[in-house]
Structure 1
Amino acid sequence: MNKQQEFVLRTLEERDIRFVRLWFTDVLGFLKSVAVAPAELEQAFDEGIGFDGSAIEGFARVYESDMIAKPDPATFQVLPWRAEAPGTARMFCDILMPDGSPSFADPRYVLKRALAKASDLGFTFYTHPEIEFFLL
């Protein structure tokens, strides 16, 4: 277990977190979520959480539907709107095939591949969120 995973597990215990939401998006950018108890997270770090990929838009056909959501501990965050004990946290996931290879339908994997190609060409990619709102 790496230090980031240890930090996540320690924080869950210290902050009395009851649920961890494992987030990923489909190919259209819609957020999907699986909630797990903290006791399940150590196994999720090692093996991931299995799910039916054919139920997610653009992920897989029915006959190749087994997929794995593997949490990325670097994306761990206690949700601020649920900060009262017992709270809720979230982590984004990488989507893998049953053999452990990345899914080509995973938007995170698509971005990682694009960043690697840009880096090979000597480019550095910088990004920043732009927060907007409207008052009506």
Structure 2
Amino acid sequence: MVHYSRQDIIRMVEEQDVRFIRLQFTDIFGIIKNIAITPSQLEKALANECMFDGSSIEGFARIEESDMKLFPDLNTFVIFPWRPQQGKVARLICDVHTTNGESFAGDPRRVLKDVLTEACEMGFTFNVGPECEFFLFFNDEQGKPTALSHDEGGYFDLEPIGQGEDVRREIVLALEDLGFEIEASHHEVAPGQHEI
């Protein structure tokens, strides 16, 4: 795991021409939310001073207690590889806190940390191995998705170089640029179905 300081992040943002930093957090359904800031607001964010209206986030707070703060986890800083040209975009995953600085009990990240601490105290370790599966479909003449898959391949089929192979390749390379270790990618059982 990489360990960054505030100065490391400020330096990387300057040196890499990062124009936007996404401060990410999740709602109670696991949906990623974010606030995009510019480098001029980065020091404020790193001092845990960026606020948002929690009453608009499902399961967070009532309108009368809506102000929440984002506390960035410095070790989650990454520059997105799919914006390599001028004006790069980076992200920091954040913990949600109340305005008095207390960790918000409804923050899914906090809940996960609490469960992991409890599991560790019981002698358990936590390992994650995601298996992402998805389908690729053609678009119609108006650019809208159809139910027509782009291939008739099956499980582990070696398809000719085409849309599925190209899409999986781009996803794998982007994930590796983000620091993920990719075990394999291949065609799945159904037509148009893929796995990474």
Shorter-chain TM-score range: over 0.9
Residues 50-65 of structure 1: pairs in structure 2 closer than 5 A:
50-65=51-66
Match of 2:44 in 1: 43
After superposition, residues 81-92 of structure 1 pair within 5 angstroms as 81-92=82-93
Is the Cα contact below 8 Å between 2:21 and 2:92 reproduced in 1?
Answer: yes
Structure 1 residues 26-41: aligned runs within 5 Å: 26-41=27-42
- Which AA in structure 2 matches 1:71? P
- Which has the larger Rg? 2
Contact kept, 8 Å, 1:24 with 1:31, in 2: the verdict is yes
Give the counterpart letter for 1:92 in structure 2.
I
2:57 alignment partner AA: I
Aligned to 1:79: 80
Q: Which structure 2 segments of 5+ residues have no match?
A: 137-148, 150-196
Distance in 1, Cα, partners of 2:49 & 2:132: 32
Is the contact made by 1:12 and 1:38 (CA closer than 8 Å) also made in structure 2?
Answer: yes
**Higher fraction of helix:** 1
Moved more, 123-132 or 105-114: 123-132
Q: Deviations over 1:73-132 (max 9, x none)?
A: 111111111121111111111000111111111111000000010011111111122222
Which letter maps to 1:10? R
Q: Which residue of 1 aligns with 2:173?
A: none
Which position in structure 1 is the counterpart of 2:11? 10
Per mean C-alpha deviation after superposition, the further-off stretch among 79-88 and 125-134 is 125-134
The alignment partner of 1:127 has SS state of: coil
Aligned length: 135
Post-superposition CA distance 1:10-55 (Å, at most 9, x none): 1101110111011111001111110111121112111331111101
Residues 1:93 and 2:123 are matched in the alignment = no
Provide structure 1 residue ranges, at least 5 long, that are not aligned to the other structure.
none
Task: Flag the structure with more relative contact order, 1 or 2, with Cα contacts below 8 A and sequence separation at least 6.
Answer: 1
Q: Distance in 2 between matches of 1:37 and 1:53?
A: 21
Q: How many angstroms apart in 1 are the aligned matches of 2:129 and 2:49?
A: 29
Q: TM-score, normalised by structure 2?
A: 0.65
TM-score, normalised relative to structure 1? 0.92
The structural deviation recorded for 1:3 is: 4.6
Task: Give distance in 1, aligned partners of 2:100 and 2:77.
Answer: 25
* AA matched with 1:112: K
Q: Which amino acid aligns with 1:22?
A: L
Aligned AA (1:36):
I
